[in-house]
Structure formats: structure tokens, C-alpha cells
């Protein structure tokens, strides 16, 4: 039992969970999602990471409105993410692949300049959680997220285990809230 269990405060951070005063009223609980696989070796037929993202999100009641696979090329990644963000039927873009350190891993470089706001905590927490599974190899991942024109963009590594971790532990619990905040009217 948490030390705060009987005083109404959230065990995770010690704050009163009811003190947000409508902070979650803007949450968007049905998201329209674009899944983008960045790979020069896979096809949609053998894209287990893209399949996993789609399953995890649809199981939570979200709708995958577009799914694409593109090569590891800067212009292709940047142009595709920019086009997806501009769609009326996309609230969230989840990419898989291209976040490592090989010369063709360009997702971070291509997506970064598009973002209006970066969310550094996403990558930091992803690496912390990854460390529990893969140890110090986690330093080779550059998972990242941010907001582009009110759309949440999350860039995950290409392995199925990485997308399982990132989507289940970070995207699913936080995307409705982040999208709602990003689109909130002043």
C-alpha cells in the first residue's frame, strides 16, 4: 500500500488526482492514427512492427486511417510525415524504424524540423523503460515525440519489442491527453 493511499493523493507523484480542475476534459479518447513504417527491407506483408502498432491502438478503440511503408530516405520520411499531419483524418502519427545509429537511420533528422513542440520526456522515458529489457544497448535508440500542427508524432525503433513497449506503455496511456491538449483552444 502506498504511503499516500489513504490521503487521496496519487501514489505516483504525491499530488491529489482530483486537483487538475478539468485538465483532462480535452482528452480525445478516439484517435485517428497514421502508422508509418520506415524500412528499406520490409514490405507491408512482413511488417510485424506496423502490425503490432495497429493492433495495440485498435484494441484501445482508436482507428488506423492510413498505414504506409516507405524507404529510409530523409526526403521520403519528412515529406510523408508532413503529408500525414496535414490530413483531416489523422490525430496521431506513429512511426517505426529509422531511429538508430546506422547511416540510413534518418527518421529523427527528418521529423525533428517539422515539430512545433518537442516532447523530450517521451524519448527519455522510452530509454529508461528499454534499459530494463535490453540494458545499455538502449543508448543506440533515438526514440522521440513531438507536436506538429496539433498532431502528436511518435517515432519508435523498428523492432516489434520496441513498438510493443513504446505503444503500450507510452502512446496508449498518453496520446489521448496529449492530442487533446495540443488541439485545445486558448
CA distance 1 to 5: 6
Q: How many CB atoms lie within 10 A of CB 134?
A: 15
Tell me the residue range of the domain where 164 lies. 32-182
Residue 9 is assigned to a structural domain of this protein: no
Residue 7 is assigned to a structural domain of this protein: no
pLDDT tens digit sequence for 127-150? 999 999 999 999 999 999 999 999
Distances (CA, A) of 31 to 19, 70, 132: 26, 23, 29
Q: Which residues pair with 154 in a beta bridge?
A: 94, 145
Compute φ and ψ for 146, nearest 5 degrees: -175, 180
Q: Which burial class, exposed, middle or buried, applies to 5 when counting CB atoms under 10 A from its CB (0-12, 13-18, 19+)? A: exposed
Residue 17 is assigned to a structural domain of this protein: no
Return the pLDDT at 185: 73
pLDDT tens digit sequence for 46-88? 999 999 999 999 999 999 999 999 999 999 999 999 999 999 9
The pTM for the full model equals 0.86
pLDDT tens digit sequence for 25-53? 556 689 999 999 999 999 999 999 999 99
Residue 67 is assigned to a structural domain of this protein: yes
Length of the chain, please?
A: 186
- Three-class DSSP category at 66: strand
Residue 14 is assigned to a structural domain of this protein: no
CATH number reported for the structural domain that contains residue 74 in this entry:
3.40.980.10
Residue 19 is assigned to a structural domain of this protein: no
Residue 10 is assigned to a structural domain of this protein: no
Q: How many domains does the chain have?
A: 1
The per-residue pLDDT of the chain, averaged, comes to 89
Residue 21 is assigned to a structural domain of this protein: no
Distances (CA, A) of 147 to 5, 39, 45, 154, 163: 34, 23, 30, 9, 19
**Is residue 70 within 8 Å of residue 80, measured between CB atoms?**
yes
Q: How many CB atoms lie within 10 A of CB 71?
A: 14
Amino acid at each position: 500500500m502506498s504511503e499516500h493511499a489513504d490521503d487521496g493523493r496519487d501514489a505516483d507523484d504525491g499530488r491529489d488526482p482530483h486537483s487538475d480542475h478539468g485538465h483532462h476534459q480535452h482528452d480525445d479518447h478516439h484517435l485517428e492514427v497514421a502508422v508509418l513504417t520506415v524500412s528499406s527491407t520490409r514490405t507491408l506483408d512482413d511488417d510485424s512492427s506496423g502490425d503490432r502498432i495497429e493492433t495495440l491502438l485498435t484494441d484501445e478503440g482508436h482507428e488506423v486511417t492510413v498505414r504506409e511503408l516507405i524507404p529510409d530516405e530523409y526526403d521520403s520520411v519528412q515529406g510523408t510525415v508532413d503529408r500525414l499531419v496535414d490530413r483531416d483524418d489523422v490525430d496521431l502519427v506513429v512511426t517505426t524504424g529509422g531511429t538508430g545509429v546506422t547511416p540510413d537511420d534518418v527518421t529523427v533528422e527528418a521529423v525533428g524540423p517539422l515539430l512545433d513542440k518537442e516532447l523530450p520526456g517521451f524519448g527519455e522515458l522510452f530509454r529508461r523503460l528499454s534499459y530494463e529489457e535490453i540494458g545499455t544497448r538502449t543508448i543506440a535508440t533515438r526514440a522521440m515525440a513531438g507536436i506538429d500542427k496539433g498532431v502528436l508524432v511518435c517515432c519508435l525503433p523498428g523492432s516489434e519489442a520496441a513498438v510493443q513497449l513504446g505503444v503500450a506503455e507510452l502512446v496508449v496511456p498518453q496520446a489521448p491527453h496529449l492530442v487533446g491538449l495540443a488541439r485545445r483552444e486558448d
